[in-house]
Amino acid sequence: MTISDKENTGNSSPDGAKIKIENLSLSFGGVRSLIDIDVDIRDREILAIIGPNGAGKTCILNCINGFYKPQQGDIFFDGKKITRIRPDKAARMGLARTFQNIELYTGLSTLDNIMAARHVLMKQNALSSALYYGWSHKEEIIHRKTVEDIIDFLEIESIRKKTVGMLPYGMRKRVELGRALALEPKVLLLDEPMAGMNLEEKEDIARFVIDIFEGQGVTYPDTPVLRDGVSCIVLVEHDMGVVMDIADRIVVLDFGKKIAEGTPEEIKNNPEVIAAYLGEGKK
């Protein structure tokens, strides 16, 4: 069964879009990073966003989860307008992401980094948590179980107590992915999750991405994000081999404009996409 064949579940809008981006424009001074972008991110799909360096790929992710505030256009998530949402509220709504440049607590362990993401899901206040008694104790055990499941899923048991700042680059990428999963997201935004990795590391991450999307059923019955998967994944990636293998659809940007959208096969044979990557002048 292919990814596209999976049952359509979730609370997407009537047209099938989990996230709807309309007429989005973003500028920094005189530099126009995004120009009138329209994209539908559908429920139950992996959407890849590709393009040359500086095309605006990361800017779209930053607008979706509130890091950037666009000057024009709107973004809707499950039919709700989130155009200028705060990043913490986006996380609470179910939008989680990884970063192109790893953003971890380098002085903390792998376990503590992933556990930190559970903070937004905890119901106890600082005082009750400090007492560490009764429901606070039980709640910590529940969250700790989820974190341990994520560590097991990402095959990083051997580094669970190691300081993140001392880990190899590829392992830090896994930890960051684990922290995003700990938010139990509906939508996962991955910004170049395989950048700087060797072939074996890329294959591992690609396998994790597919498994996250599809869910692991009875393997992790107590961890919803692993048990059921996520509604959709938005992947920014430069490795075209990976993109063509795992994406349902691809959106191509060039100098802030969307120049193509379609299936991997359609994008592979699109003359505008070929011209953008080869640096040929448009006719």
Question: pLDDT value at position 64?
Answer: 97
Greater model confidence, 15 or 32: 32
User: How many other CB atoms are found less than 10 A from the CB of residue 237?
Assistant: 24
Write down the pLDDT at residue 4: 39
Residue with the two structure tokens 């498994």: 211
**Do 91 and 82 touch, CB atoms closer than 8 A?**
no
* Arch. (CATH architecture) of 3-278: 3-Layer(aba) Sandwich (3.40)
pLDDT score at 276: 84
Do the beta carbons of residue 179 and residue 188 sit within 8 Å?
A: no
Give the Cα separation of 176 and 3 in Å (integer): 24
Return d(Cα 107, Cα 164) in angstroms, integer.
Answer: 7
What is the domain partition of the chain in residue ranges?
A: 3-278
Q: Which tokens in the block code for residue 155? A: 């095959």
pLDDT in tens, 160-198: 999 999 999 999 999 999 999 999 999 999 999 998 899
Predicted TM-score of the model (pTM)? 0.87
Phi and psi at 237, nearest 5°, equal -155, 145
Q: Residue written as tokens 């910590």?
A: 140
Amino acid making up residue 203: E
Structure-token pair, residue 114: 């992933």
φ, ψ dihedrals at 30, nearest 5°: -90, 0
Q: Determine whether 103 is exposed, middle or buried from the number of CB atoms within 10 Å of its CB (0-12, 13-18, 19+).
A: exposed
Least confident of 126-130, 197-201, 268-272: 126-130
Residues in the chain: 283
Please state, in angstroms and rounded to a whole number, the distance separating the CA atoms of residues 129 and 17. 39
